């Protein structure tokens, strides 16, 4: 025989379940704009009936329900979709890091522009062409020298700017690695808290949200794999590096630089790829400068200046020390201070002045270097410019930069569209809908009112039984 107050207990459970549902909806509404928050739901199930079947009391049609109970407060989340978003975010961050770096490199080269190396090279060659027609003209010689200085400064500045971009990327790499290690420590701490709460029989939804948000942010930085240990804890591996040990919660910090066979995606890998590409442009710039230095110096030292003397090296720190690359290319200070030392001629009597001051054949020879194919036989060993001319070599380098920059930008757009699509799907599943929560609140309100009405009715019945049936 069940208790006279049995119905009150059933109604009480209804009140408690409705109140819990309202609290959960209120929590959702309060966190509607909280980054990383996952919508929660109070899962209600019928409580165990009275009485439970046993050997002496078989299941009968007269079993009474005992109301409702909240089985769990569940996070509404699609783990498979989370994994997809993190993989695509990896790729997006990879390409974005490359795109940003290559945009900086394009800004360094400033092509096409009046101050770019392409224009400076064109001016350099045309000045020598003009000098071949007016070899004795001091103003023309001064123009040759000044534009050569501008060209050398252009190489110096471009190289310096590339080094600055390289330094910025290396610094950004260190920041990202520090960020990865910091997030790893936070995840390890959350693992510990989540395990403790689960052992107590509770569901640490908000802590799981915090950990998932850290995993989402980690996906922007690097690739990784997750192992769920089943007790609420997870292990995280980056290639062969066990970043977070889910058992001991020990963190193995990522080193600087990391092992690039482990880091294959994310912003960190994008920075590494960008540094590799940047180094190739810097090497190409140095190759261009080194071959220009050698070819012009060889031609210039084979000519005769206005004083009838053999020409000095044209690009160098002094008369005997030639420049070597884009970082130190400079016009010989002697020539800068005395343009008569420019060896425009190929004839004359050494030591007694140039007896043919109008001879500009050596200047014409230097101007002709513009269209000369440079390889290992006449340029810097082993390959010179690979058989290209100075102009075509530089233009090919800029074209390659443009193609790589455009490709990375296109990949960013494609990946961003994919991540946005997946994120919208995630938001439709896990995000808080104010309309839905308002509807839920109304449902719980009426459920609460209904349960309260049952209590009122039972109270009236008990009042009749206890107070109005007395003898």
DSSP notation for 20-54: HHHHHHHHHHHTTT-TT---EEEEEEEPPPBSPPB
| Residues 6+ positions from 31 with CB-CB distance below 8 Å | 37, 432
Q: Are residues 236 and 125 in the same domain?
A: yes
> What is the spatial order of strands in the sheet that 241-244 belongs to?
225-228, 234-238, 241-244
Query: What is the biggest distance separating any 2 CA atoms in the chain, rounded to whole angstroms?
Result: 151
Q: Are residues 124 and 154 in the same domain?
A: yes
Report the candidate in 330, 332, 369, 443 with the shortest Cα–Cα distance to residue 121: 369
Does residue 326 contact residue 289 with C-beta atoms inside 8 Å? Answer: yes
Does residue 86 contact residue 216 with C-beta atoms inside 8 Å? Answer: yes
Does residue 86 contact residue 213 with C-beta atoms inside 8 Å? Answer: no
**pLDDT at 347 > cutoff 50:** yes
pLDDT at position 460, please? Answer: 87
Q: Are residues 194 and 140 in the same domain?
A: yes
Spatial distance between the Cα atoms of 313 and 301, rounded to a whole number of angstroms: 6
Q: Are residues 380 and 457 in the same domain?
A: no
pTM of the predicted structure, to 2 decimals: 0.87
Mean pLDDT over 265-292 rounds to: 96
Give strand pairing partners of 41: 74
First-to-last CA distance in the chain? 25
Q: Are residues 133 and 220 in the same domain?
A: yes
32 lies in which domain range? 6-74+433-467
Q: For residue 449, is it within any domain?
A: yes
DSSP alpha helix (H) spans, 252-389? 266-300, 333-337, 361-368
The tens digit of pLDDT for each residue in 348-381 reads 545 555 556 678 999 999 999 999 999 988 889 8
Q: For residue 145, is it within any domain?
A: yes
Continuous segment of H or E residues that includes residue 315: none
Q: For residue 455, is it within any domain?
A: yes
Q: Are residues 169 and 211 in the same domain?
A: yes
Q: Are residues 272 and 421 in the same domain?
A: yes
Q: For residue 1, is it within any domain?
A: no
Best-predicted range by mean pLDDT (131-135, 252-256, 289-293): 289-293
Q: Are residues 452 and 387 in the same domain?
A: no
Mean pLDDT over 5-31 rounds to: 92
| Residues 6+ positions from 384 with CB-CB distance below 8 Å | 291, 374, 375, 376, 377, 378
Average pLDDT of the chain, as a whole number: 91
Q: Are residues 47 and 95 in the same domain?
A: no
Number of domains in the chain: 2
Q: For residue 109, is it within any domain?
A: yes
Q: Are residues 146 and 238 in the same domain?
A: yes
Spatial distance between the Cα atoms of 139 and 331, rounded to a whole number of angstroms: 17
Spatial distance between the Cα atoms of 408 and 457, rounded to a whole number of angstroms: 71
Q: Are residues 163 and 126 in the same domain?
A: yes
Does residue 340 contact residue 135 with C-beta atoms inside 8 Å? Answer: no
Mean pLDDT over 154-167 rounds to: 97
The tens digit of pLDDT for each residue in 184-204 reads 999 999 999 999 999 998 899
Burial class (CB in 10 A: 0-12, 13-18, 19+), 467: exposed
Does residue 363 contact residue 128 with C-beta atoms inside 8 Å? Answer: yes
Q: Are residues 233 and 99 in the same domain?
A: yes
Q: For residue 167, is it within any domain?
A: yes
pLDDT at position 349, please? Answer: 47
SS3 at position 347: coil
Number of alpha helices (DSSP H) and beta strands (DSSP E) in the chain: 10, 5
Cis peptide before 51 (omega within 30 of 0): yes
- Count CB-CB contacts under 10 A for residue 336: 15
**pLDDT at 284 > cutoff 50:** yes
């Amino acid at each position: 025989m069940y208790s006279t107050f049995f119905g009150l207990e059933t109604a009480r459970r209804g009140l408690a379940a409705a109140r819990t549902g309202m609290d959960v909806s209120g929590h959702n509404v309060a966190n509607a704009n909280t980054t990383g928050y996952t919508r929660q739901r109070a899962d209600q199930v019928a409580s165990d009936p009275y009485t439970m079947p046993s050997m002496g009391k078989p299941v009968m049609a007269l079993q009474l329900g005992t109301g409702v109970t909240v089985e769990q407060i569940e996070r509404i989340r699609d783990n498979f979709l989370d994994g997809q978003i993190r993989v695509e975010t990896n790729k997006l961050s990879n390409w974005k890091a490359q795109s940003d770096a290559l945009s900086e490199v394009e800004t360094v080269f400033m092509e096409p522009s009046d101050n770019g190396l392409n224009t400076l090279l064109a001016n350099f060659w045309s000045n020598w062409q003009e000098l071949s027609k007016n070899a004795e003209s001091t103003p023309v010689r001064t123009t040759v020298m000044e534009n050569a200085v501008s060209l050398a400064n252009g190489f110096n500045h471009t190289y310096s700017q590339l080094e600055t971009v390289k330094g910025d990327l290396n610094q950004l790499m260190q920041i990202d690695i520090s960020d990865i290690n910091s997030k790893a420590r936070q995840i390890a701490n959350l693992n510990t808290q989540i395990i403790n709460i689960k052992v107590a029989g509770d569901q640490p939804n908000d802590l799981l949200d915090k950990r998932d948000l850290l995993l989402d942010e980690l996906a922007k930085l690097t690739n990784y794999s997750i192992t769920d240990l089943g007790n609420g804890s997870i292990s995280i591996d980056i290639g062969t590096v066990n970043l977070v040990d889910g058992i001991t919660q020990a963190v193995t910090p990522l080193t600087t630089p990391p092992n690039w066979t482990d880091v294959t995606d994310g912003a960190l890998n994008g920075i590494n790829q960008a540094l590799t590409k940047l180094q190739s442009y810097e090497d190409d710039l140095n190759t261009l400068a080194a071959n220009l230095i050698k070819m012009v110096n060889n031609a210039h030292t084979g000519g005769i200046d206005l004083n009838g003397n053999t020409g000095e090296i044209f690009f160098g720190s002094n008369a005997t020390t030639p420049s070597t690359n884009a970082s130190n290319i400079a016009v010989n200070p002697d020539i800068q201070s005395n343009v008569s030392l420019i060896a425009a001629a190929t004839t004359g009597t050494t030591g007694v002045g140039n007896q043919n001051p109008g001879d500009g054949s050596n200047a014409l020879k230097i101007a002709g270097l513009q269209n000369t194919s440079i390889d290992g036989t006449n340029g810097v060993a082993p390959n010179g410019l690979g058989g290209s001319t100075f102009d075509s070599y530089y233009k090919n380098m800029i074209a390659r930069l443009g193609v790589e920059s455009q490709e990375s930008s296109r990949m960013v757009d494609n990946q961003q569209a994919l991540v946005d699509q997946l994120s919208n799907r995630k938001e439709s599943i896990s995000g808080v809908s104010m309309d839905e929560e308002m509807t839920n609140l109304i449902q719980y309100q009426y459920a609460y009112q209904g349960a309260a009405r049952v209590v009122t009715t039972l109270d009236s019945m008990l009042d009749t039984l206890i107070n109005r049936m007395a003898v």
